[in-house]
Structure 1
């Protein structure tokens, strides 16, 4: 809705125009002023789209007011109205920024025509403004795309054609106007493909430096800090810590950072990026919240066979005699050795674990071999030492479960009873495969496999079954509202609960209650 200011020293005149606007349902918000001085104060405090002003008024007349509006640079549709004997005076005003005029007494059809023209002019200006904003937005999007392409090409070693980058925003790179520090942001879970905009907002909220940003993959993004001089290392360290803390706090995201050396030419980005990628090799052995500098390389340690071989021999011996408890203990010693002896090649670390698992797989020729091969593949997909250790223990637990030992069968059944008891008692909580696995000290993948093997249905299906049975009970025996029932059953969304109920029982909860005895 547009806003109109009516200025006249006679109250009956300005209120009469206001009444005309209301009677003819013109979509205008009206403000009133008794003279030019009061009107000017209103114009300086509020956005006014249309101004109707009398010519002759005390303190400041309408023409002087129109000149003040022009001097302030206000884009307003101005209409003057005056008596017939002031007509020539009013016509001279049209040579300024007045867009139209009305004669007193106001003739209603003429008034409606003039005001409608003013409203249409406002709409035309709004449409033109929107078109201009869209053009600017499109230009900026294209510019952003070109800048991201240039940066990505530089990271991949593609030579930059200086003549192709003529805009000031891109020439700043090829003309060496500033130094760049690249910060590689690495996340172990998939994040940047969906939440990239959220992370960019976080950077704008927490960084005082100018920067550019490109998304590399669902797990990685690159930040380019721009500064006239190389940024001191301690400042970069504080900057990195701030990004890590902000991501953990507002996004609940654990990230690791690798900060590259300062460069001031696009062709230097490729070598600097290669150094940063090599540092990620060592992140495999570290916990979350890792901050590394590419110019502070770690000394890659070698395996000491005198120390390592006895540990591996113990693992193999335990496996030979089906001593899975001893094998797990020896695996624990192996990972303690890997973690405390320095930084190794993650590839060689996975190779050692794969060799252990090959011995596990080749000693079993039953129907579970395909499942074990699946776990073997997972070794090479692990992203951290802890992740690798979890997979090793999961595979050993799988071996133990299919070994045919009756005590193990009883232990599995007891474990399943523990899990079902938890679900039966805590169905109203936020249950998840990961949360339950953590409580019974198993990996989620192994728990899922074991539960399906022992019960014939998935863990998630069992949780749904318990909740759906409880939903039927509440619908049949209580007057509880459906909006309260879904919360009682541990669901966060009523829509998801209703859809699940329909899939399970064939009707919505409301229809079920109507048809229940």
Structure 2
């Protein structure tokens, strides 16, 4: 809605013109003034957009009114009302900046046309103003991008001395200082509409600068390489040790405020102090990023100082073959409680004497999954095997902390176990039943895995695999256990000599039968028979 002012010392003409304007623009507010002086008072009081003014008026005429309005910062469109005999005054008014003129007596159609003309001009000027403002903002953003890039290069890789001087002059920084890295834990928020992200970043920059500037001269910027990383270079006159606790408190407040306003969680790392920061900023920045990364093992802490964790860092090398076999065996035996136990023990042992670098640990866990997955390779298709490993690696890599990594690792091993359970179908059970039945009938013969597999039309590898996965032991061990059991039955229920029993149950070598028997029960077959009353309990 526009505000329109009609200025004329003749009351009737003023009121008629005001009425015509109200009828032409019922949504506009139309005010009246009887001379230029009264018009100025209204203009100063109200936000006037268009003025219709007569030229010849007492106290302050139309030309003087235009001159005084030109001194005002507010752009007002002026339409001059003039009779034929005062036409030269109208020309003078145009020279002074009047928008247009109307010759008295004014007609309704002339008013409508003039209003349309002046409103069109206002709309065009507003459009140009918005375009100019957008261009200005683009130039400002370009300037910001330049310094964002320059500052990023400074703290990540180093820059020329001349650029250091430019930064020092631009931001009035001191020589002594530290680098602070505030990392967004959920960068998906950066995919929100641009205006929301810009507002969020603006508020975060302002909040960080307000707090850091209370310690000393500083500059904050979003990294040109990682848009989810807010970096602050904080310089100070006094040693950092005197400001450490105060700064930590301020940064905790900043993290809490950011979460309250935007629902964003931050991890803030603080690098070590440098006396020559312009030459050593990249070292402090690397320490700040390292400190922030160790929230992986310290999920309850949102502000972490490198000085607090540097002594706890223990680089690691992958030497977990024993653990691999424990996980594989637990999966093969489908013992979920053993899987949980071994996972707990392994993860606790890693942190017993300190923290590995999070990326090293993550690679170790992924490698463990890849190695352990071999237990299911023969039970799924090649594509399914690949998909399972890719999904597990993606989930483990996306783990925000040690606790979630452990949970996902354990879930992956449980998935492997479940695959084995489901793979033990009736077909596999039938194979085992057939094989066991064959062994029951031929255990006393000279048997081998290859001979039994060929007789039953299976590959030796397949038969060996399902024996181990289904019965939890090798073919050889199962056959030996069966022969020992048959031997015990003969020791208990016959008067055959031991040298007669051994070949009857498949042992060609009597001495080997003695050795296996004693290693299993701690006594020889003869001693067992003499103490038969002590062996009434089930031995299997």
TM bucket normalised to smaller: 0.5 to 0.7
Distance 2:8 2:296 in 1: 77
Q: Which residue of 2 aligns with 1:271?
A: 283
Q: CA offsets, 1:68-99, max 9 Å, x none?
A: 42333332222333556666666665664545
Q: CA deviation at 1:335?
A: 3.0
Q: Which residue of 1 aligns with 2:335?
A: 323
The structure whose Rg is larger is: 2
| 1:212–1:44 Cα change, 3 Å | farther
Distance 1:347 1:96 in 2: 73
377-386 or 56-65: bigger deviation? 56-65
Q: Does 1:105 align with 2:105?
A: yes
Superposition CA RMSD, Å: 4.6
Q: CA offsets, 1:366-418, max 9 Å, x none?
A: 32455663466354554421122012211231133234389999xxxxxxxxx
Distance 2:224 2:198 in 1: 14
Q: Does 1:184 align with 2:200?
A: no
Q: Which residue of 2 aligns with 1:197?
A: 198
Count residues with an aligned counterpart. Answer: 402
Q: Is the 8 A contact 1:4 1:51 kept in 2?
A: yes
Q: Is the 8 A contact 1:192 1:219 kept in 2?
A: no
Q: Which residue of 2 aligns with 1:139?
A: 139
Q: Is the 8 A contact 1:299 1:343 kept in 2?
A: no
Distance 1:258 1:17 in 2: 71
**Which of 399, 413, 417 in structure 2 is aligned with 1:396?**
413
Q: Which residue of 2 aligns with 1:287?
A: 299
Superposition map of 1:306-455 within 5 A: 322-339=334-351, 341-350=353-362, 353=365, 357=369, 360-368=372-380, 370=386, 373-374=389-390, 377-378=393-394, 379=396, 382-404=399-421
Q: Which residue of 2 aligns with 1:473?
A: none
Superposition map of 1:4-403 within 5 A: 4-22=4-22, 30-55=30-55, 57=57, 61-81=61-81, 96-106=96-106, 118-119=118-119, 121-157=121-157, 159-160=159-160, 162=162, 171-173=166-168, 177-179=172-174, 182-191=179-188, 193-195=190-192, 196-203=197-204, 206-207=207-208, 208=210, 211-215=219-223, 220-224=228-232, 232-260=243-271, 268-287=280-299, 290-294=302-306, 296-302=308-314, 322-339=334-351, 341-350=353-362, 353=365, 357=369, 360-368=372-380, 370=386, 373-374=389-390, 377-378=393-394, 379=396, 382-403=399-420
Distance 2:103 2:167 in 1: 59
| 1:15–1:187 Cα change, 3 Å | same
Q: Is the 8 A contact 2:251 2:303 kept in 1?
A: yes
Distance 1:405 1:178 in 2: 66
Q: CA deviation at 1:200?
A: 0.7
Q: CA deviation at 1:3?
A: 3.8
> Residue 260 of structure 2: SS of its match in structure 1?
helix
Distance 2:336 2:191 in 1: 42
Unaligned residue ranges in structure 2 (runs of 5+)? 427-540
| 1:89–1:125 Cα change, 3 Å | same
Q: Is the 8 A contact 2:173 2:235 kept in 1?
A: yes
Unaligned residue ranges in structure 1 (runs of 5+)? 410-517
> Residue 402 of structure 1: SS of its match in structure 2?
helix
Q: Is the 8 A contact 2:180 2:234 kept in 1?
A: no
Distance 2:273 2:14 in 1: 67
Distance 1:389 1:76 in 2: 70
Q: CA deviation at 1:8?
A: 2.7
Q: Which residue of 2 aligns with 1:446?
A: none
> Which of the pair is proportionally richer in helix?
2
